[in-house]
Chains A and B, each alone.
Chain A
């Protein structure tokens, strides 16, 4: 089927690398993992068919090292490179270099990345077609020009990295006195995260919804959208929980926005999978183009669950020149899917990223539960990269049953040894406003600003278990006595049975 591609190099790490390895397996394609020095034994390296070291831990020396990655693909005779998300995925130069090297870049053309990757350019392109763009400014970005534009647009507004994504290099400014500092911070973050410190301004709608449309386009001019994802539950502009369908959209708004998304994609001759992001004003039920992400999204699984399509497989098949065998009318949403992101971050310490070993990770299971994880028990979370550990995704016949499934799944998730946001996610998922879908992009910050874990009394069961575990670990007298007891099958008699295999 995909004859042109027999081996793929995956220029990424963590859960998304593993997600792509799985798709390769299912298509009968070999996979090559790349890894930095700290990732030499990482899960994605262990699961791939082959692996290549690409440099020191700093991303700029390894996962962002385009020449090295392309050389690795050539050396191992891969036909294609999948960039995943983040890292080099939206780097037009990289896409270009991959093609120049005679390899297939699994994603859109360098031109499309160029056009959409820079937010200033994207705003210009989209404003020429019949799609509303949020009021903003993307001209000269010196202090004076930005200040003047800010006065025109009005506050609150958003200072954003032109090359940005993932909430990096982004600051909400509520009044003019904070503009200067926001510009400095955003510029520094942008420079560091994207190597490009250009900034743009956008009007900020505090009560808006963030709704994005997944599009898919083959190399023969066939475009479809795979409906929306509601991503309004955000903290510091980072999505935390995503779901589809959006509780806000009705059929007519959905179809209007879907058409707008297709218009945006076709305006730049888009191919492969991409996402068109909109801001929706719930009062006026009006929507504005925000940006287009020219790559696979973290939250792609919820779309897969409600449409039944495998997005990563379609990325590969489109790159291998296949035609989309379906048109828009043949696609539909079925049921409801919701995803949450498990981060190594410490809610007790202002949600700062945490690093260290995962002593134990038991993923939830059961009907309608999918877990895309990048790490397992014994693996290290390092501070070099994104703190995403895993995504837990639930599917149900309707919104409430999907939410209940996700809640149960999170309660079944065992993640020991590293601070994480599971308790925080559970509190959001059981909040009345969330259950009634009364959410917007500022909702988490307004309602969970000083969230802390409700410190409950330690249950007696936990203390008893701790006592039993400690007794057995110490291998002291009680055990010796027990070993001479009557029951030959007593668990306490097995030597060493109670040692933790991890980290000890």
Chain B
């Protein structure tokens, strides 16, 4: 079988062929002889080309987290190539919450002009204050949240229009 995955935005393709208890894995024209030594939920011990190794893993929402020799890797299913259609809201004009947090204060009104680096809002998480600043000079066209509101990571906070001079 062919297994495709994505780690750190890099696509990989592995061919796995079983012969009794052994598996031949092929990755980028390189062959590996693999044997499963032990396995239990969240743990797999392998022998790969004569080297015994232990990996820990967990899964959530289609992602597999793998820990190997002190490093953690997040293995995702390959995503389809993004469409060429330019996303309607690109880049730095929109600002999203960097983490789940509570909005403590919004320090600007809609339609106001903001300069790059100006504090637009204050978020709070775990008693730390997080200052959200304007990434560019521009007009604040839209504010999506209000003080006291809880926001998720990646949630839209506000939008700037850079074309205003």
Contact = CB atoms under 8 A, between A and B. Distances in A.
Chain A partners chain B: yes
A167 to B, nearest CB: 9
B7 A415 contact: no
Contacts of A503: 58-60
Nearest to B131: A185
Given A189-B129, A458-B12, A465-B44, A352 B98 contact: yes
B68 A462 contact: yes
Nearest to A351: B128
A491 B36 contact: yes
Interface stretch (A20-28, A221-229, A294-302, A383-391): A383-391
Interface string B97-135: 011110010000000000000000010111111110000
Contacts of A332: none
A168 to B, nearest CB: 6
A482 B18 contact: yes
A466 B64 contact: yes
Interface stretch (A6-14, A140-148, A356-364, A443-451): A356-364
Nearest to A189: B129
A455 B41 CA distance: 28
Nearest to A473: B59
A188 B129 contact: yes
B45 to A, nearest CB: 10
B145 interface: no
Contacts of A413: 70
Given A416-B57, A462-B7, A386 B126 contact: yes
A255 interface: no
A372 B99 CA distance: 27
B86 to A, nearest CB: 26
Contacts of B73: 458, 462
A459 interface: yes
A500 B40 CA distance: 9
A352 B58 CA distance: 23
Interface stretch (B27-35, B87-95, B136-144, B155-163): B27-35
A468 B30 contact: no
Contacts of B100: 355, 383
A467 B67 contact: no
Contacts of B104: 188
A484 interface: no
A449 to B, nearest CB: 17
B105 to A, nearest CB: 8
A481 B46 CA distance: 21
Contacts of A189: 127-129
A282 interface: no
A359 B72 CA distance: 13
Contacts of A415: 67, 72
A287 to B, nearest CB: 30
A461 B71 CA distance: 12
A235 to B, nearest CB: 12
B77 to A, nearest CB: 9
A415 B57 CA distance: 10
Interface string B1-38: 10101011010101010101101010100101010101
Nearest to A378: B58
Contact of B70 (A410, A471, A482): A410
B32 A460 contact: yes
Given A417-B65, A502-B42, A468 B36 contact: yes
Contacts of B85: none
B5 A491 contact: no
Nearest to B75: A466
Contacts of B41: 497-502
A360 B55 CA distance: 12
A212 B101 CA distance: 33
Interface string A469-500: 11101000110011001110011100001111
Nearest to B119: A181
Interface string A408-436: 00111111110000110010000000000
Nearest to A457: B10
A350 B130 CA distance: 11
B56 A416 contact: yes
Contact of B71 (A350, A423, A477, A491): A423
Contacts of A4: none
A349 interface: yes
A455 B8 contact: yes
Contacts of A463: 5, 7, 12, 14, 27, 75
* Most chain A beta-carbon contacts within 10 A, residue among B25, B32, B59: B59
A319 B38 CA distance: 51
A501 to B, nearest CB: 5
A466 B129 contact: no
Nearest to A456: B71
A76 interface: no
Nearest to A481: B18
Nearest to B5: A466
A467 B59 contact: no
Nearest to B28: A460
- Most central of A377, A461, A486 by chain B CB within 10 Å: A461
Contacts of B38: 491
A466 B72 CA distance: 12
A384 B130 CA distance: 15
B36 to A, nearest CB: 6
Given A461-B53, A462-B73, A465-B57, A500 B68 contact: no
A332 to B, nearest CB: 35
9 contacts: A350-B98, A354-B99, A412-B70, A416-B66, A462-B66, A465-B57, A470-B3, A477-B1, A500-B41
Given A410-B70, A460-B32, A469-B66, 7 more contacts: A353-B125, A359-B60, A385-B126, A414-B67, A455-B8, A462-B73, A469-B44
What are the 7 closest A-B residue pairs judged by CB atoms, nearest first?
A: A411-B70, A359-B58, A467-B3, A416-B65, A360-B58, A414-B56, A466-B75
Interface of A: 168, 185, 188-189, 192-193, 346, 349-350, 352-355, 357, 359-360, 362, 377, 383-387, 410-417, 422-423, 426, 455-456, 458-471, 473, 477-478, 481-482, 485-487, 490-492, 497-504
